[in-house]
Amino acid sequence: MITIAIANEKGGVGKTTLAFHLAYAFAPNVLAIDQDQQANLTTRFVRPLPDVNNIVRLYERKPCQPLLVRQGIDLVGSDITLSFKEPDARTESAHYLRRALERDWGDHDYAVIDVPPNLGLFFSAAIIAADWMVIPIQTDDFSPDGLEGLISRLQDMKDALGLRIRVAGIIINVARENTNYAQEVIGEVRAKYGKAIFESVIPESVKVAEAIAAKQPVWKYAPHSKAARAYLGFIEELKAVIHE
């Protein structure tokens, strides 16, 4: 199984929408995991979430079962009660997700983890569990310091714990490409990070919002849209990296 974490400590960069689309892209036999207490990935697939399929159970050391939510897509979801588990967590808790993936959920070909926008327990658990990290950034409110801090934190964890995770790349997401500022940011990050930046740029698009509301990936909802082409291009790039 190949496990991909979608992570950035900054919120509002489109992590959940990216995770939703990657779940469809890697189907069949993909496991989507919602590690965010806001549960946005969960509600895009199912509402309400049955208790037995809630990742909260994992941190309570109870059996937690994936739920079939689409043909070829299973979900381990979350809800607001996940936030109550972090303050009382022990260091060992950060390893629960990796153990579940290895022992209980390992019959999937891929797992996609939606990681919360902070550097707490659930971020650490995802980083310990994952093989790859995809980092979405947004041009409208881009912070070079925040991105550097995230990459530094990842490297510190790798060094301290001997982790296998690697950065698959940085994806420029929800971009208003027609603005001068966006073009400046895109130029800046490409100059600084080079080949670590995916060539594809996911544009801001009402078609993506409409597709999410229809519970479909944008390439099925609006196959001829610019956003659909961008997503499919990004997915091909990502697959080339993780299968090299």
For 71-99, give one letter per residue: b (16+ CB within 10 A) or e. eebbbbbbbeebbebeeebeeebbebbbe
Model pLDDT for residues 57-116, shown as the tens digit of each residue: 999 999 999 999 999 999 999 999 998 887 666 678 899 999 999 999 999 999 999 999
Q: What is the pLDDT of residue 89?
A: 63
Which domains does the chain carry?
2-242 (3.40.50.300)
DSSP SS3 for 186: helix
* Closest alpha carbon to 128 in 170, 93, 76: 93
The Cα 132–Cα 159 span in angstroms is: 16
Q: What is the pLDDT of residue 115?
A: 95
**Mean pLDDT across 201-227:** 95
Q: What is the pLDDT of residue 88?
A: 63
Q: What is the pLDDT of residue 235?
A: 98
The mean of the pLDDT values for the chain is 92
More confident residue, 145 or 125: 125
Q: What is the pLDDT of residue 176?
A: 82
The Cα 169–Cα 174 span in angstroms is: 16
Check residue 9 and report its DSSP letter: S
The Cα 178–Cα 191 span in angstroms is: 19
Model pLDDT for residues 138-164, shown as the tens digit of each residue: 887 777 678 888 888 899 999 998 999
Q: What is the pLDDT of residue 90?
A: 67
Q: What percent of the chain has pLDDT over 90?
A: 75
* Closest alpha carbon to 33 in 13, 57, 61: 57
* Closest alpha carbon to 141 in 168, 165, 117: 117
Q: What is the pLDDT of residue 86?
A: 72
Biggest CA pair distance of the chain: 51
Q: Please state whether the predicted TM-score (pTM) of the whole model is above 0.85.
A: yes
